[in-house]
Each structure stands twice: as C-alpha cells, then as structure tokens.
Amino acid sequence: MNAPERVVERAGIAVAVVEVAGVEQSYGKGAARVSALRGVDLAVGQGELVALQGPSGSGKSTLLNLCGLLAEADAGRVSLDGADTTGWSMRQRTLARRRKIGFVFQNFNLVPVMSVFENIEYPLVLEDMDAPRRRECVEAMLARLGLEPLGRRRPDEISGGQRQRVAIGRALVKWPRLVIADEPTANLDSATARQIVDLMHEAVAQDGASFLIATHDPAMAARCTRVLRLQDGAIVPDEAGPAAGEEAQ
C-alpha cells in the first residue's frame, strides 16, 4: 500500500514540516517562574530525522510538546506545513494532530485492554475510516513490522521491543507528516534499539515521514540527519550527522 504524496510546496519551494521561530515558554509565577525555552528556532524538513539532545531540564520535552501541538507557546510561532498554528482552537489542534502527527513514547503508552491489532488501528478509528480499509492498513503495517503472528495479543503478552514496534506502527499507520518520539529506545537493549531506528529510516524512505526525536542514546543520534543540542532552554549550534538511511560507522 502506497503512502499519499508527502511534499508540501509554496511558490515552488518545499515548506518545512514543522518550524519553530523565536519560541519562548515558561512555567510557574513570580519568583518560582522558570524559563523552559528561550528564543528557540527550529525547522524540520521532509524526510529528516532530527535528534534533540541535552541534560534533563534543558527543554527537550517542552519543545516536543510545542511541535506536537500539545501545548501553545508563550511567545513566538509554531508552524505545521507552513500554517501558523498561533491562536488555533483546541479542536483545530486536535484535528491537526490526528491527521498529520504521530507520537512514539518511551513507555509505549499502548492501551492495555486493546490487542496489538486494535492499538495500531486506533488512529484510523478516530479518523472514521471504514472497517475494510482499516483492516487493510493495519494488516499491511503488521507485516511491515514483522508482527503478523501477534495481532491478537495484548501489550502485556509481548516483549518491550515488540511493544515499541507496535507504538511505531500506531504512529505510522495514518502516514503522518511528522513523528514526535520521546526517548524511543531508552528501555530497550542495543540490538532491539537498532531495529527501532531501522524502522524509522524505513518510514523516511518509504513514506517520506519526518522525525523529531529526543534521545540520550548516542547510537540513535549518530544515525540521525542532524543533532540539535539544548542547554538551559536554548539550542546551541547543530552538528551534521549521516544522511537519512545511512549507517553510522
């Protein structure tokens, strides 16, 4: 099954999948106020895997939440496919997340009472896709993930690596423009982590997906297109990594 056309252009120029400009974000009030992000600029192009690294409290999770439209910045602009999301209603943000953004979490966040098949299917149910089409999409994703024999099992009946593959399948099954991943290999052994990164590269090659990944894993960062480092809420100069799809040596 082929993914839909992914490139978004404006006046013949490819538009960043997600762009952050001059973003500021703080928490708390008065003397307890903490600045989480300070004038952050970021653009993720189609097919990029961009790694975010930095110590705890550097602003990685806050930046992921803003790019995933889970929160709204105090100042600055977050654009998705060239559309400024400033002032969007909760409904507009929810619809954009459902249609264009997938999420992969460190702790998988699978629905425990749903089967593997049902967890992957869930985003398509939210989109009111008809049942035959949903089955076709989920079966294709299970085959792609090597999970066909596990479709009827619950999350607690499979391994951690298999649960993360299910989480990736759930994120990719709707062909998102952007995948937000928060420490996706943190709870996995090195061999399984490598398989997860392989799946992300396959999504870039096959679907044109873009990834924004918060990670402390140097092996994962080495296989990303770029590495951005956050320190005290600001991005320090980025480093070029291997091109998407290339192996780290």
Residue 53 lies in a domain: yes
Residue 4 lies in a domain: no
Cα 54 from Cα 22, distance rounded (Å) = 19
243 pLDDT exceeds 50? no
Instruction: Report the pLDDT value the prediction gives residue 34, as an integer from 0 to 100.
Output: 87
Residue 248 lies in a domain: no
Contact 223, 248 (CB under 8 A): yes
Residue 175 lies in a domain: yes
Residue 125 lies in a domain: yes
245 pLDDT exceeds 90? no
137 pLDDT exceeds 70? yes
Instruction: Report the pLDDT value the prediction gives residue 212, as an integer from 0 to 100.
Output: 97
pLDDT in tens, 7-33: 444 444 467 999 999 999 998 887 788
The count of structural domains within the chain is: 1
Residue 150 pLDDT class (50, 70, 90 cuts): very high
Residue 211 lies in a domain: yes
Residue 225 lies in a domain: yes
pLDDT in tens, 160-213: 999 999 999 999 999 999 999 999 998 889 999 999 999 999 999 998 999 999
Per the prediction, the chain carries an average pLDDT of 89
Q: State the pTM of this model.
A: 0.87
Instruction: Report the pLDDT value the prediction gives residue 248, as an integer from 0 to 100.
Output: 41
**Domain encompassing residue 234:** 9-240
Residue 144 pLDDT class (50, 70, 90 cuts): very high
Instruction: Report the pLDDT value the prediction gives residue 15, as an integer from 0 to 100.
Output: 79
Residue 3 lies in a domain: no
pLDDT in tens, 36-93: 999 999 999 999 999 999 998 899 999 999 999 999 999 999 999 999 999 999 999 9
Instruction: Report the pLDDT value the prediction gives residue 10, as an integer from 0 to 100.
Output: 44
125 pLDDT exceeds 70? yes
* DSSP per-residue codes, the chain: -PPPP---EETTEEPPSEEEEEEEEEES-GGG-EEEEEEEEEEE-TT-EEEEE--TTSSHHHHHHHHTTSS--SEEEEEETTEE-TT--HHHHHHHHHHHEEEEETT----TTS-HHHHHHHHHHHTT--HHHHHHHHHHHHHHHT-GGGTTS-GGGS-HHHHHHHHHHHHHTT--SEEEEESTTTTS-HHHHHHHHHHHHHHHHHH--EEEEE---HHHHHTSSEEEEEETTEEEEEEE-PPTTPPP-
Instruction: Report the pLDDT value the prediction gives residue 31, as an integer from 0 to 100.
Output: 76
The domain that contains 86 carries what CATH number? 3.40.50.300
